[in-house]
Structure 1
Amino acid sequence: YPLNSPGGWNIIGQTPLQLFDANREPSVLLKMGDNIKFFPITTAEFKKIKKSQKAKLISTDNNVIGIKILKQGLADSIQDLGRYGYQHVGINPTGVMDVAAAHITNFLVGNGANEAVLELHFPASVFQFQSDVIIALSGANFTATVNNIAIPINTPIVVTKGAIISFTKLVNGARCYMAVKDGFAITPWLNSSSTNAKANSGGHYGRILQKDDIIGCSIKSDYSKQLGKKDFFILPWQVDVKGIYNKDNIFHILLGNEYKFLLGAAKEILIDTPFTITTKSDRMGYRLHGLPLQLQQPLQLISTAVTKGTIQLLPDGELIILMADHQTIGGYPRIAHVAQFDIPKLAQMQVHQPIQFAIINNEEAIKKYSLQQQYLLQIKNACIFKLTEYLAI
């Protein structure tokens, strides 16, 4: 085991070697095909080697100017679009749960799509800005206020140094995203700023944000002219997101490799009956409750690749939808995959909300995803034009 984790097997030994180290290249000590030989050492030797192997944490410099956390939220973290290309060595992608909201909040402040953002869960952290900055919020509506005055989501806002942003009431959605113009000063790990809490790497010290943390900002502009003596100033445009988050609870699915092994009745249940998101849900996956699904006969599967949106059938007949922090491989039957264009809406579903599935083919799924990407590109271009025009005044 490269990282600490619970287990039920007999422990026959332990190595002091650091199997995983974010500062090392490669980060993973062992790879597929390596030959391993074990030999005994004394307790003193174990402690000496383990001490020399201790990994350092990668993060931003807490001495820089940025955003200070005055009060810790439920599970807020720094994320970008994910750390892809390393599943073969056991490093999962992580990244934002709602890719569309992350795009929108970055575009609103003139950032690129993959700039790191704050992913907030309600109750969210309370932040204080240590410099003038342009921010934007998108995704869930947590009733944000700056110095106790309500501000809208899906619009850019110039905020003054010393102002405090709080989130007072959950109106809708599950995750709110905040971006700052020019981005956060985060040291990337494996080409990504996303927090991987399991690996204790990426983001801000590889963990959720805590009270007194300071997240550095890459401030490159002066906004004193726009602010004057105001605490904040709302820029006069807003993004319409209704096309991405329609209000129905229907989620389109592509049939998975093991769908064919379901009983006929189970196939009908999958499409004809609703499922409820349970409290056993997190960034790794959504556990669903509903009528149990049964296989034609027990399956012995070799663990194989899974991804965000994969729907697995658990031994008790219930389902789990894998999300941003999903494992790299899985051994449960993959009966379906949520179409990528529906993942943003899925990421904003709350515990106890019902969802229902509808089958879609590859061609239609690609078409709908392409339309969504075109809409996001339109938002990007419009925001660049508006922001450039406004800041030039």
Structure 2
Amino acid sequence: MSSGPLAGIVVVSLAEQYPGPFATMVLADLGARVTMVERPTGDPTRRHPALFRALNRNKRSVALDLKTAPGQAALRSMLADADVLIEGFRPGVLERLGLSPERLRLDFPDLVVVSVSSYGQSGPDRELGSHDLTVQGRAGLLDGARDGVGVVPAADLVAGAFAVIGVLSGLLARQARGGAHVDVSMLDCLVAWQAVRMGGHLASEETTGYPPREPAYGMFRCGDGGAVTLAIAGEDRQWAALCDELGLGDLGGLSTGERESRADQLRTLLSRALAARRSDDVIGRLERRGVSCGHVRRVPEVFDDPQVKARRLLLDLPSGHRSVRQPLLFDGQAITACPDVPALGEHNELYGLDPLQADR
């Protein structure tokens, strides 16, 4: 697949939907050989081709029915040569299949098993399954959110990123002590992700929070219909430059505390001033003054951004579709080897199995 830094690492994935596939796509992009084991009807996200393509390039697909003894035997034969198993079942499912992490560790002592679930392998809600939004709510991420539901599944993505960290840590640690079972809880990940916010609450101290109370931290609409972001958070010099450019120089001397105490009033004044200007002109002027600001791109516009183009974030797949590469550069170079998304059961024969009949 690829000759990246994880070349030679073999990953078997039993994880469907979002967090696990995101994690294994990153691992595959970095050079690991990833085989996803799908149910005979396929990962449910295959019904959304664009979503499936976005998460499952550069992998192999094997179709198995793990509820059958032959299917379990076939999986075990795959694990004999694997370094990592990532699974996304609810806790208890692997045990009922005779494939508990403890059993797998006995049979495959060097195997790193990473379990990704909504609430982790312990606790009263361990067997509950939840979607991203439910976990966001329980983790407090929606408390104080200005616009409600976000546009990306934060719990899924954060758990996927921590799963990658778990894989790499487990691979490093096994040199000294063998394999490991890494428990990745979406809820835990989101709570940990808010360390600064939670730390202030635990210490009963006021924190700046996010977004900051600053009036010039947010999205503003300009007169040409374009939107800009301003991101001034405690920078008095930037605030003074912003006020000067917008004709609000009499307010430029306000301190951070004064701005925060008058945030609503000042935000209204900023909105009025920006509504009389063109977005490109505003951004050009403010950037020259060192003020943190930027365009609000629509999704179709993102890949026309000169910086995004310069970083070569787009990949052209053999199928003619386009995808987004993993974001890491090694010695200044992107890892771009990127075979297409596999068909269901496309690689069964590599393991001596018949396509879609592997368990029979």
| Structure 1 and Structure 2 fold alike (TM over 0.5) | no
The alignment's TM-score, normalised by the length of structure 1, stands at 0.24
Q: Which structure is richer in relative contact order (CA contacts within 8 A, separation 6 or more)?
A: 2
Structure whose residues are more often helix by fraction = 2
Structure whose residues are more often strand by fraction = 1
Higher-Rg member (1/2): 2
